[in-house]
Amino acid sequence: MAKSLLEQLKSMTVVVADTGDMQSMEKFKPQDATTNPSLLEKAAKMPAYQQIVDDTLKKASAEKPGASAKEVANEAFKQLAVAFGVKILQIVPGRVSTEVDARMSYDTAATLDIARDIIARYAKLGIGRERVLIKIASTWEGIKAAETLEKEGIHCNLTLLFGLHQAIACADAGVTLISPFVGRILDWYKKDTGKTYEGADDPGVQSVTKVYNYFKKFGYKTQVMGASFRNIGEIRELAGCDLLTISPELLAELDATQDELPKKLDAEKAKSSDAQRITMDRATFDRMHAEDRMATDKLKEGIEGFSKALEDLEKLLAKRLEEIGAKQPA
C-alpha cells in the first residue's frame, strides 16, 4: 500500500502541530506542537476545553482576591497558556512552544521577565525546560532577549520571521529554532502583485529555502521550522526542512493524499549553494528591514494581530469569569 504524504514527510522532517486543539494532536501524532494567542483563543472557545478554562480562572481568582476581572483574566491567560502546554506535552513526545506577550515585542527586559516566568510556571508543574520553547517575535529587541535566554539554558522559537536579516540575526544569537511564515509571505506578494504563485515559484517557499541553505552552508545550529502554510503544495516544496509546523486541516489533507514526496531541501546540497555571508549588526538589521517592504509590513501586522488576539482572549476570560461568578451559590 502506498504511503501517505504525511507518513513520507515524517521520515525526512520533524512534523509539528500548529494548533491548540489536542484532539487533532492525538489523531496526527506530531513530534512537537506550537501555540499562539490566536490558537489559544480559538481553543478556549471550544466546549472540549471549557473545563481547563474554568479551572484556570478559578485558580487565578483565588490567587488574586479583590482583583478586577481584567486583572484576573490577565493572570489567567498566563496560567492558561502553560495549562494548555502541559496538556499538550502529555500527547506529543517532544516540545511545546509557548508565546511571550506580543505586546512586549519591542521590550527586551519585559520579554526576559515573561519568558523566565513561563519557564518557572512549567517547572512548578514538573515540566523541564528542555520540553519548552519560548516563542518570541523576531524584532531586534526580541532576538537580543532570546540570545540571553539561550545562554541561561532557556530554548527559544523566534516567530513572525519574514526576512533573511531576521533569520541571520537569530542564528548569530544562537537561538534554537526560527519559524519563517511561508503563507503570510505568499499573502503579501499576491496582494502586492496581483499574481498567483504555485510550487517552487511561491515567494514564501523561496524565502524559507534561502534561509535553510544559508544556515546549512555556514554551519549554524539554529533549526528552520516553516510555518503558516496556505496549501500542501508549499509543504511539498519544503520537504526535508528541519521542521514544519502544520495546521490540523493541512495535516488531514497530507494524511489523505498518496503520492510520491521527493526531498526538496537537503543539508549536504545546501553547502554548495551560492549564499554569501552577511555580517549582521543593529544598523545592518535596521537597514535591511527598512528595505524589505514585505518583512516590514508583515512583522508589524503580525505583532498587532497577536496582540489583538491576546486582548480578545483576556476579554473572553473576563466574561467567562463573570459567568462562573454568577453561577456560584450565594
Phi, psi values for residue 160, rounded to 5°: 50, 50
Query: DSSP string spanning 120-165?
Result: HHHHHTT--GGGEEEEEE-SHHHHHHHHHHHHTT--EEEEEE-SHH
> What's the whole-number mean pLDDT along residues 204-225?
98
86 grid coordinates: 502541559
CA-closest candidate to residue 22, choices 11, 33, 12, 31: 33
Query: DSSP string spanning 11-77?
Result: TTSEEEEESS-HHHHHHH--SEEE--HHHHHHHHTSGGGHHHHHHHHHHHHHHSTT--HHHHHHHHH
Known catalytic residues are 135
- Identify which has the larger pLDDT, 178 or 48: 178
Predicted TM-score (pTM) of this structure: 0.92
pLDDT recorded at residue 237:
98
Phi, psi values for residue 220, rounded to 5°: -70, 145
Q: Are 180 and 161 in contact (CB under 8 A)?
A: yes
Q: Are 150 and 122 in contact (CB under 8 A)?
A: no
> What's the whole-number mean pLDDT along residues 26-47?
85
Q: Is the pLDDT of residue 268 over 50?
A: yes
> What's the whole-number mean pLDDT along residues 178-189?
97
CA Rg value for the chain:
20
The average confidence (pLDDT) of the chain is: 93
- Report the share of the chain in percent with pLDDT over 70: 98
Q: Are 145 and 112 in contact (CB under 8 A)?
A: yes
Give 330's pLDDT tier (boundaries 50, 70, 90): very low
Q: Is the pLDDT of residue 80 over 50?
A: yes
pLDDT recorded at residue 329:
47
- At the second CATH level, the architecture of 5-19+29-322 is Alpha-Beta Barrel (3.20)
Q: Is the pLDDT of residue 328 over 70?
A: no
Q: Is the pLDDT of residue 17 over 50?
A: yes
| Least confident among 9-18, 40-49, 135-144, 255-264 | 40-49
CA-closest candidate to residue 80, choices 323, 320, 329, 328: 320
Helix (H) or strand (E) run with residue 89 in it: helix 69-89
pLDDT recorded at residue 40:
80
Which distant-in-sequence residues (6+ apart) come within 8 Å of 330 by Cβ?
A: none
